[in-house]
Structure 1
């Protein structure tokens, strides 16, 4: 076979192949796309800023008002406490005067008129005597560690034994009242009561005025144990 024949044969083979290649669609090269990100800038108008500022200022005024009210309330609370102390001091001074308080370095003594506390031949405390006994409790509260002695006395009218028993019951009645009505004033371990009847009169028993003075209850406070 000569060269001419080979060339013709090769051409016969290549031509169909070239036609096949021409029929295949070649996709286009993808183009790079540039993505642009848009940034939205929000602008606040002057009116909106002024409105926000006004709202904040109003809120600040509310806080300042609340703070002022709290300070005023605290000042009132402190003043109330001071007034309570001043009132209590005056009440104690009044109680000491009305109870004829006699005080020494080691003890304190109070006097309660028997006719103010009790009816004749009775050991039941009168309702009208309650304010006076509250004064006693007020003073006792100043000596929470003190020992308290409640002593009842009688005049010489009647039998001595009956007077002794009556004076003892009256002392016990005062003790019980102080413990029941003023539990913070004194503890039960530090208060005792006794009756001494006609003993130790402070005035004559020959007239009504003297006998009235002898019907009494004395309360003695030892300031420390």
Structure 2
């Protein structure tokens, strides 16, 4: 049995997911070296490599940029955000791949959407609908950082959360930080100037990738004390 921080392998067979793949010893050694160098799990590395050679040029560029930086741990990112944006309590959300996930409500207990997850080119209202919920998350966080395969996608601040239903919540409010501005995530309208903490948090997140175990039961990482 081969064990690293984020993956289990038995004779080259990945065992912690529904699918199994068999690889050579040389390939396993390459994955081990690449994981140690970048901080990404095997699963994340393979998906990033696949995206980097895919047909979508924008997604390929984003995957290449992610591979070019070393992912930091949740604790490292927690310390970095505490130093540059002490008034923000950021919940990091690891988004799954873009997929159909219809959800409709009629009583105000949630919000309508047709999809969940994201890819490297998801933006605007489509990204916000995936980020809003529904998550097993506490109500203390006042900002959300969205990630896909460790790559930072967007920062939302001014976040407030619904009451929990079956342990899950959704964001009632939030605006996206775009440069020095606060932007309505649904309409794209500029709402005003971003705070110093919001601007500094965006700069920090733009320059860092986040290492998150692919098998985590809950994709939420509280990046604050």
Q: TM-score range by the shorter chain?
A: under 0.3
With the length of structure 2 as denominator, give the TM-score of the two structures: 0.22
Pair member with larger Rg: 1
| More strand, by proportion | 2
With the length of structure 1 as denominator, give the TM-score of the two structures: 0.22
